[in-house]
Amino acid sequence: MEISIREKEYTAAEEYILSIPKFTSKNSPKLTRSFYEFLNNPGSKSLIFHVAGTNGKGSVCSYLHSVLTKEGILTGMFTSPHLVTMRERMNIGNEMITKEEFLRHFNKIVAALKLFQRKKGMEQYHPTFFEWLFFMAMVYFEEKKPEVIILETGLGGRLDATNVVKSPKVCVITEIGFDHMEYLGSTLEQIGEEKAGIIHSGCKVVFLKKRQEVTEVIEKRVQQVGALCKSVSKPENPAISFVDKTIDFSFTSRYYGDIPIQISTVAQYQAENAVLALTALEESPIKLTKESMISGMRECFWPARMEEIFPGVFLDGAHNEDGIEAFLRTAALDECKGVRWILFSAVADKEFTKMKEMICSSHLFGQIYVCCLKNARGLKKKELEHIFSGEKVKLIENTKECLEEILGLKKKEDLVYIVGSLYLAGEVKEYMEQ
């Protein structure tokens, strides 16, 4: 089948964005803001929810988006990373950006960048990979004029490209743990300070009260800038149904009293993300109906969070210590009448040794498989062999071949889990589409 000229242009745009890390590095916040302002601060007229944290950011964004859309509020959402296509990062309502719109807004950034370089004498400036996609999303949102925009930080908060938006209505800080320490710091206090950098004067702040050292950092930032703060705790003893694949808990609303909430997942950790999202919505100026809150939460779907992709096969994006710990707690609750299998891989800049130790020491899994990722950041065969030396594992380099062998050998009563990296989740999703 002949590929259209438009399709070729779209593919070329994607390839250009993917090539950006080869010729540019991190820009200063001042320079990033300068280009954003040159674009006329796109999206800044919408009511903005800004979400940062180590784990749960994407899930919180998805819950916010689902409830707001259910209420009939036109909502834009920018998240990262993507699993299969870059277009996943930019959503209006229930639809991600089309290829045609993606290409059109890519070309807008190309034209604006050339003009900026010439007018400002900044020929050396070029947005990073993440910045480019963020600018595209904001220009796209500016055109669509959503009432609400949800922004997920890429890395950290204080220096993140999304932090050029200085007047969010609500800032949400999800669970903070150890990840990206080479950029954010080696202690929870340091990491927390970076994440809390999205908090600005006059905004409402909703955060998960879990670790005292993190709580103190967030509350200190709130006092410094003059924001309003509300901490939340995860619901006590949420009821998990593996038959219906749901979690039920009660949320105390300031408007409606106790509301029965059901979320469509067995991932235990999602209950706290759901409470964060509901609290953030109630701290915003938006008045929601009880019905939208209930149905929006129930109907929300966020891929690769204990997602059952085949019968008895679960895909989870856990890719750091806290994520693996939360995944293991959920896996341990599964009523497995056969053998638990696990397929693991990771990228080289993660705490992969600790993740491996947690998985092996749990003694939950009768079969352990590891594979190599196509992504350049993925651990190589020799590295995986070294990490798992002394353990009874099977290494198959190709994700597709590894998954096909597991699915071929798995018995009906067995359970399979795929964890360790969102890049691994993306490769599995790509395999499923093919």
Of 299, 325, 340, which residue constitutes the final position of a domain? Answer: 299
User: Are the CB atoms for 336 and 312 separated by under 8 Å?
Assistant: no
The answer to whether residues 325 and 290 belong to one domain is no
Per the structure, the complete domain to which residue 236 belongs is given by: 5-299
Say whether both 155 and 276 belong to one domain. yes
Per-residue model confidence (pLDDT) at position 25 = 80
For the chain, the domain total comes to 2
Are 256 and 372 in a shared domain? no
Q: Are residues 260 and 353 in the same domain?
A: no
Strands 75-78 and 90-92: antiparallel
pLDDT score for 132:
98
Please provide the DSSP assignment of 66-125 as one string. Answer: HHHHHTT--EEEE----SS-GGGGEEETTEEPPHHHHHHHHHHHHHHHHHHHHHHT-TT-
Q: Say what the pLDDT of residue 5 is.
A: 66
According to DSSP, the residues that pair with 313 across neighbouring strands are 310, 416
| Same domain (yes/no): 279, 336 | no
Phi-psi region for residue 81, left (φ > 0), alpha (ψ -120 to 50) or beta? beta
Closest CA to 269 of 306, 297, 321: 306
Instruction: Give the domain CATH number at 167.
Output: 3.40.1190.10
Is residue 127 domain-shared with residue 77, that is, in the same domain?
Answer: yes
Task: For residues 85 and 188, state if they share a domain.
Answer: yes
Supply 198's token pair: 């999205």
pLDDT at 18: 95
Same domain, 282 and 392: no
Tens digit of pLDDT per residue, the chain (434 long)? 445 768 899 999 999 999 999 888 889 999 999 999 999 999 999 999 999 999 999 999 999 999 999 999 999 999 999 999 999 999 999 999 999 999 999 999 999 999 999 998 888 899 999 999 999 999 999 999 999 999 999 988 999 999 999 899 999 999 998 765 566 777 999 999 999 999 999 999 999 988 899 999 999 999 999 999 999 988 887 998 877 889 999 999 999 999 999 999 999 889 999 999 999 999 999 999 999 999 999 999 989 989 999 999 999 999 889 899 999 999 998 889 999 999 999 998 888 899 999 999 999 999 999 999 998 889 999 999 999 988 999 999 999 999 999 999 999 999 999 999 999 999 999 988 87
SS3 269: coil
Say whether both 270 and 320 belong to one domain.
no
Domain closes at, from 274, 299, 324: 299
Rounded to whole angstroms, the Cα distance separating 43 from 141 reads 6
What is the CATH number for 383?
3.90.190.20
311 shares its domain with 262 = no
Domain end residue (candidates: 234, 264, 299): 299
3-state secondary structure 393-413: EEECCCHHHHHHHHHHHCCCC
pLDDT score of 1: 45
Nearest to 58 by CA among 75, 79, 76, 77: 79
The answer on 264 and 327 residing in a single domain is no
The predicted pLDDT at position 160 comes to 95
Is the domain of 260 the same as that of 347? no
Q: Is the dihedral of CA 332, 333, 339, 343 positive or negative?
A: negative
